Structure 1
Amino acid sequence: MKVLTYELLRKIIGGILLVSLIAIGFANPIQEYIHIPKDITVFEGQQYDFSKAAPVSATISSEQSTVAFNDNGNGVKLTGTRPGKEEMMLEIAGFPIKKVDVNVLKDFKIIPGGQSIGVKLNTVGVLVVGHHQVNTSSGKASPGETAGIQVGDIITSINGEKIEKMADVAPFVQDAGESGKSLNITLKREEGEVKTELTPLKEDGGNMYKLGLYIRDSAAGIGTMTFYHPESKKYGALGHVISDMDTKKPIVVEDGQILRSTVTSIEKGSNGNPGEKLARFSSDKKVIGNITRNSPFGIFGKLNKDITNGVVDEALPIALSHQVKEGPAQILTVVDNDEVKKFDIEIVSTIPQKFPATKGMVIKVTDSELLEKTGGIVQGMSGSPIIQDGRVIGAVTHVFVNDPTSGYGVHIEWMLNEAGIDIYEKPQEKAS
């Protein structure tokens, strides 16, 4: 065993004391920087600030930085200058304590909505919304139920032929009944495709044959436009999925249309009883866009032309989920006729989400005019864009049943993703 010399032991003890003194002196700055994220994302022209204690210094690794960088001793200011990635190192007395990845995204803006819209959805195939008993000469029975067809199933084909609307079904049923043959039916179900056979029954006292099923091929309702992208004309609205009123299951969309709508009256909300916007399709019934997707984050498609709200008609930047903060914000929505107005709300809480989720914010209506008119958040208000500090941050989605002044909001980046808009688009390499 080697014996430590006096000189070596003195150096070790001295080093330990020095490190201890440094740790004690810089404990607060280190604790402060634990809360700075490991990743910072900003858009071109967007600024990100954070304060720091004087002993801490910040440096950027690249000579041709994607950010304008300023360390004034008490704080750091980052401004995105061009798309790309960067590394920022935080140090104390030359010792690195944290590496922060800075990602600058291409400048991106959208036009906020707020308009009341009418929605028409056409399903993929025909939707089974219930069973009924066929009254035959030998008793009552439901051929559909006997064949194992469930509420929520979608009939996509009969005898190998595609079914698109209810009118397509009747000829197959009548022909099979008169010939005494069974129908080969293909169903779309949540767990996958299902095939079954069904024998129609003749209704007593008539010549009609029945399936014993209630079916539907379309749905309609109202909601609020959230945004549209001026370059691509892609839009997002509602902020939540449209479900069938009978089956309570999401409607699988074949196609659809959105139209302008006019709010005719408001059923004011109260505790335990959410209110509702009552509206009708505008008299011109002019289609302003299509519907290609019905997802947990809303409905999406393309507009036929630009639309305006008369309040904020210029394109605004967006905020990512980690950039949203608690505090004042506004929503754009309609409570009278087709007039879009801005109302005050409060962001009560917000979650910096890394993965898509529908409930990213808790919001509370604080605007006295809106509270007097609606009692808070009402059905039909879903999709109303939320704006904070001049940036679109999300949309209203759900109301709290026991507190209609409050509800949930979804972050705008997830709606943009569902609309097929890639805000994380990588910058193109220049040809050499």
Structure 2
Amino acid sequence: MKKLRVILCAVLALVMILCAPQNVYVAAERQMVYVGGFPIGISVDAGGLLVESVTGVETEYGTVEVEGLQKGDIIKTVDGADVLSVDDISELLTDEKATVELLRDGRLISVEITPVIEAYSLKPRLGVKIKDKVYGVGTVTFVREDGKYAALGHEIYDGETGVHIPFAGGHVHACKVIGVKRGKKGEAGAILASITVEKVYGDVVCNNSFGIAGKFSAKFDKSELLPLATRDEVKIGKAQIKTAVNGTPEYYDIEIIKASKQPSRKEKGMVLRITDKRLLDSTGGVVRGMSGSPIIQNGKVIGAVTHVFLNDFTKGYGVYADWLN
């Protein structure tokens, strides 16, 4: 009888192990990441030439506007030839009509344009200010042990035109914080930073509603390794963010005041409030450039800061780590 009880106990123990393997594996396979919190410069290719503004062409008769182009257009081709730089436009334009293929409001259209001869250069011009890249500043959320990173927490778009940039690749660069612009009524503040374009730290392989991602090709300052949390582990209450508003990444106290149930990938899963007096004195709350700052709770990375409340700079949104790239 005693021997039977021993056998039954052994069988029961084995059944308990076999019936609960998931918890064992979750603990063993929880992903560890280096906590970010440091700023990066970001350049994203426009996939053509973005019309930043319509300026007109200076002629001997005054300023003449060229009909057909609008602010926010992305010029793709001129007479069938791809344009990827400002120099491409100069080489392709003549004083005759040209067929320009462009993206406008997400639609690919063709327009007929007649360039105008500029007075001082005697060259054909379109009368627009254009650029082939969009630049910005953001914060790295975390870096995986293989060098793959997640940053920003939201899509990068052109701040001058407000245009969504179809993803065509990009890079991350060295970035130095030089100051902070505090927010004012209806306008968010911003981290002021300089980007060293010549110093390329890595690539950008995606740009979507949940931020940018890529891989560092240069060495970065490795910080502590922490596990990534699932959205179900996020709780209302105290937490911290790590950010570099004064140049050096530091931890600041916050409070999670709302954590939405999100069965599928969505933005703005959390609402947070800055409670740290040091950060409030420095920035007034959440500012642009802080996007991507990792949110840490109970020793785990739970997500990233994404947006600020324009009617209350002490509050902002966060995205769950589950949804980051």
TM-score, normalised relative to structure 2: 0.86
User: After superposition, where does 1:73-88 map in structure 2 within 5 Å?
Assistant: 80-82=23-25
How many residues get paired?
311
Partner residue, 1:250? 164
Q: Based on CA coordinates, which of the two structures has the bigger radius of gyration?
A: 1
Identify which of structures 1 and 2 has the higher relative contact order when contacts are C-alpha pairs closer than 8 Å and 6+ apart: 2
**Does 1:200 pair with 2:110?**
no
Q: What CA deviation, in whole Å up to 9, does each residue of 1:381-430 have, x standing for no partner? A: 111000111111111111112211111111112113xxxxxxxxxxxxxx
Partner residue, 1:219? 134
Partner residue, 2:232? 322
Partner residue, 2:44? 121
Partner residue, 2:310? 401
Q: What CA deviation, in whole Å up to 9, does each residue of 1:357-397 have, x standing for no partner? A: 22111000111222222222122111100011111111111
> Structure 2: which amino acid aligns with 1:126?
L
State the SS of the aligned residue for 2:244. Answer: strand
Partner residue, 1:373? 282
Q: How far off is 1:191 after superposition?
A: 3.7
Partner residue, 1:235? 149
Q: How far off is 1:342 after superposition?
A: 1.0
State the SS of the aligned residue for 2:160. Answer: coil
Q: How far off is 1:137 after superposition?
A: 6.1
State the SS of the aligned residue for 1:371. Answer: helix
Percent of pairs with identical residues: 36
User: After superposition, where does 1:299-338 map in structure 2 within 5 Å?
Assistant: 299-308=212-221, 310=223, 313-314=224-225, 316-337=226-247
Give me the CA root mean square deviation.
2.6
User: Distance between the aligned counterparts of 2:72 and 2:235, measured in 1?
Assistant: 40
**Does 1:263 pair with 2:183?**
no
**Does 1:340 pair with 2:293?**
no
Partner residue, 1:357? 266
Is the CA contact (8 Å cut-off) linking 2:37 and 2:294 kept in structure 1? yes
User: Distance between the aligned counterparts of 1:306 and 1:398, measured in 2?
Assistant: 29
Q: How far off is 1:153 after superposition?
A: 1.8
Q: How far off is 1:341 after superposition?
A: 0.9
State the SS of the aligned residue for 2:265. Answer: coil
User: Distance between the aligned counterparts of 1:308 and 1:190, measured in 2?
Assistant: 40
Q: What CA deviation, in whole Å up to 9, does each residue of 1:27-74 have, x standing for no partner? A: xxxxxxxxxxxxxxxxxxxxxxxxxxxxxxxxxxx8764626xxxxxx
Choose from 14, 33, 51 the match for 1:110. Answer: 33
User: Distance between the aligned counterparts of 1:138 and 1:334, measured in 2?
Assistant: 52
> Structure 2: which amino acid aligns with 1:129?
E
**Does 1:410 pair with 2:319?**
yes
**Does 1:162 pair with 2:82?**
yes
> Structure 1: which amino acid aligns with 2:313?
P
User: Distance between the aligned counterparts of 2:59 and 2:246, measured in 1?
Assistant: 52
Q: How far off is 1:160 after superposition?
A: 1.9
**Does 1:287 pair with 2:200?**
yes
Partner residue, 1:185? 100
Q: How far off is 1:106 after superposition?
A: 4.4
User: Distance between the aligned counterparts of 2:81 and 2:124, measured in 1?
Assistant: 19
> Residues 307 and 139 of structure 1: is their aligned pair in 2 closer, same or farther, counting only changes over 3 Å?
closer
Gap regions ≥5 residues in structure 1: 1-61, 69-78, 84-103, 417-432
> Residues 327 and 270 of structure 1: is their aligned pair in 2 closer, same or farther, counting only changes over 3 Å?
farther
User: Distance between the aligned counterparts of 2:64 and 2:187, measured in 1?
Assistant: 39
User: Distance between the aligned counterparts of 1:154 and 1:366, measured in 2?
Assistant: 42
Is the CA contact (8 Å cut-off) linking 2:56 and 2:126 kept in structure 1? no
State the SS of the aligned residue for 2:153. Answer: coil
